[in-house]
Structure 1
Amino acid sequence: MNIYTIGFTKKNAETFFKFLKESNVKTLIDVRLNNLSQLAGFAKRDDLKFFLNELCGADYVHSPELAPTKDILNAYKKGDMPWETYEDKFLNLMSQRNIEKNVTPALLDHGCFLCSEHEPHLCHRRLVVEYLNEHSDLNLKVKHLF
């Protein structure tokens, strides 16, 4: 099953939506804790819903259960927690939440996880895909769009 990931930073709207359209993304799965931030520009929840439908014929789903807690995220952003600790805490959180039991194949097929980070290597969207591949039989083939 094909799955994509994308971050909205360091991209203008044209590039962002072009990536999604060319990849035939059917559902953008927003894995951000806060999807209403003024800093998000075109990637705010209501704007995304509109643009996705109009430009890509895609749906929008907010999945905060696939996001870290505010405490984990803030500690990492402030530099109080190294990436390795953040990764460990987030993987444990996904396990506690049993996300593999709540994420359906229909949602993920040609879906795309959205977060803010430009590249996936230091972003939780990559960890979500890796966790699902390890704890389910979904066999997700990931392509990071950046």
Structure 2
Amino acid sequence: MKLYTIGFTKKNAETFFHYLKASNVKTLIDVRLNNVSQLSGFAKRDDLKFFLKELCDADYVHIPDLAPTKEILKPYQKKELSWEGYEDKFLNLMAQRNIEKQIPTNLLEDGCLLCSEHEPHFCHRRLVVEYLNKYSDVDLEIKHIY
């Protein structure tokens, strides 16, 4: 089953929606803690819902349980917590939340996890898909779009 990830940073709306449409994404799964920030530009919740339906015939869903807590995110952003520390805390959080049991399989099929980071290397969306691939009953073919 294909599952994509994408970040909106360093992309304009044309590029962002082109990538989603070309990948035949059915559902954009927003894994951000805050999906209404003014800093998000075209990637704010309500705008995404509209553009996804109109341009890509895709759905939008926000799943905040796939996001880190502020208590994990803020120290990492302030460089008070290393990537390794952040990764460890977030992996433990996903295990506590049992995310592999909460996500319906139909959402994952041709779904795409959205976060803000341009590349997945140091982004929690990569940790989410790797965790799901390891602990869910689904064999995911993961493709990062960037």
Output the TM-score relative to the length of structure 2: 0.99
1:3 matches 2:11:
no
AA at the equivalent of 1:125: R
Q: Which residue of 1 aligns with 2:127?
A: 127
Q: TM-score, normalised by structure 1?
A: 0.99
Partner of residue 69, structure 1: 69
Q: Deviations over 1:59-81 (max 9, x none)?
A: 00000000000110111001100
How many pairs align?
146
Are residues 1:36 and 2:36 paired? Answer: yes
The 2-side partners of 1:9 and 1:133 are apart by 25
**Structure 1: 5+ residue stretches without partners:** none
Q: Compute the displacement of 1:136 (Å).
A: 1.4
- Quick one: distance in 1 between partners of 2:115 and 2:89? 18
**Displacement of 1:104 after TM fit?**
1.2
**Range with bigger deviation, 6-15 or 130-139:** 130-139
The two structures, once aligned, show a CA RMSD in angstroms of 0.4
- Which amino acid in the other structure matches residue 93 of structure 2? L
4+ runs deviating over 3 angstroms: none
| Superposed CA offset, 1:25-47 (max 9, x none) | 00000000000000000000000
Measured against aligned partners, the alpha-carbon deviations of 1:52-102 in whole angstroms (never above 9, x if no partner) come to 000000000000000000110111001100000000000000000000001
Helix, strand or coil for the counterpart of 1:88?
helix
Query: What is the identity percentage for the equivalent residue pairs of Structure 1 and Structure 2?
Result: 74
